[in-house]
Amino acid sequence: MAGAARKKLVGRYEVGRTIGQGSFAKVKFAVDADTGAPVAMKVLDKATILNNRMLQQIKKEISIMKIVRHPNIIRLNEVLAGQTKIYIIMELITGGELFDKIARQGKLRENEARKYFQQLIDAINYCHSKGVYHRDLKPENLLLDSRGNLKVSDFGLSSLSQNGFLHTTCGTPNYVAPEVLSDGGYDGSAADVWSCGVILYVLMAGYLPFEENDLPTLYDKITAAHFSCPDWFSQGAKSLIQRILDPTPKTRMTIKEMKSDTWFSKNYVGVRHGEDENVSLDDVQAAFDNIEDKYVSEQVTRNDGGPLMMNAFEMITLSQGLNLSSLFDRQQEYVKRQTRFVSRKPAKTIAATIEVVADSMGLKVHSQNYKFYKNLCSKLESIIWRPIEVSAKSALLRTTTC
């Protein structure tokens, strides 16, 4: 029919509308033409991957997501490659983020929080059995399917380790375990368990157990495990959370101990899933083969004494005066989402743009050595601008709302 819309096909998948978009990828609704099943198709540009030095990061994340096959983990089906694009075919999740549910309701009923927590622990226990450690567990990375079941997503900061002993400092500050902040390395399993404990607290309270306006004070509270449970927590829930949020990893509650806990085991039905599949990573390897030869990224050599390369976690840790009050609202009974952004522009370009915008708003600013000094915001002493090595999720700059 002349007026009929042409269907776009990628492999056997009919590609539909865009349902999500980030800095480096689009997510499309698609349908498997063979089965009629709806899927999510993540579309990545090969040149962008290389230009932002994301090749190994994305390859690792995709490989890990293919390895972990569990009902409470978002499923990655396959990876396809076109001439200029990489297509990641994933399970379509329609229930949104667990974070949004908390934001709407303020806090969850204890039984509902327990159900999600049980599903989270099942998923993380399975990951650990495969030597996979998530390292960025938080409500924003927990999705809900159409039946209300939890799905762990976003393995961008995850690690694959045989012994579980890790060294990289990463994660979201309010959810990170105290030992991750030290320089001595940490057990990935114990660190994930801590983050799960923070999530359980947030589910039931509607706010964070560790919440401060500046990072040094926040880290002091985390290191000392200085928190208190609200009056509406049952004694069983309080006891469980206190044992999980133990600042000493060796005495912190393990997942095995958790499953024997009276509060946790109430109405608990362990997830039953079949034998582990023989997962092939051949499609992942094929999708990334030779792209460095075809899409050579421009290499920039800095010899002008410009700012150092660093990731965002290092940046905010070194920024001792950085005020985080804009990330939280103490007047609300729920944790607020952190607004984040990334930029591929050089630091000088970003700095020049800020000066122009600030001037148009009647604000007086001056910069020195890539630092901007007030008066951009009355609560902000300075913003440190440095070019950062952008990865799929870890290199993120926080914005500040005046």
Binding-site sequence positions for ATP: 42
Contact 286, 81 (CB under 8 A): yes
Name residues whose C-beta falls within 8 Å of residue 397's C-beta, 6 or more positions apart in sequence: 312, 315, 340, 341, 342, 343, 388
Name residues whose C-beta falls within 8 Å of residue 320's C-beta, 6 or more positions apart in sequence: 214, 215, 216
By residue count, the chain amounts to 402
Dmax (CA) for the chain in angstroms is: 70
* Binding-site annotation, residues: 42
Phi, psi of 196 (to 5 degrees): -65, -40
For the CA atoms of 45, 49, 52, 57, the dihedral, rounded to the nearest 10 degrees, stands at 140
Give the integer Cα–Cα distance in Å for 276 and 286. Answer: 23
Whether 136 is catalytic? yes
**CA 336, 99, 59, 288 torsion-angle sign:** negative
Phi, psi of 81 (to 5 degrees): -130, 130
Contact 217, 161 (CB under 8 A): no
Residue 392 Cα distances to 77, 166, 355, angstroms: 20, 20, 28
Q: Tokens representing 236? A: 């069983």
Q: Which residue has the tokens 């539909």?
A: 16
Give the integer Cα–Cα distance in Å for 86 and 287. Answer: 7
* Active-site hit among 136, 154, 187, 192: 136
Residue 39's identity, in one-letter code, is V
Give the integer Cα–Cα distance in Å for 73 and 58. Answer: 18
Tell me whether strands 25-32 and 8-10 are parallel, antiparallel or unpaired: unpaired
Task: Give catalytic residue positions.
Answer: 136
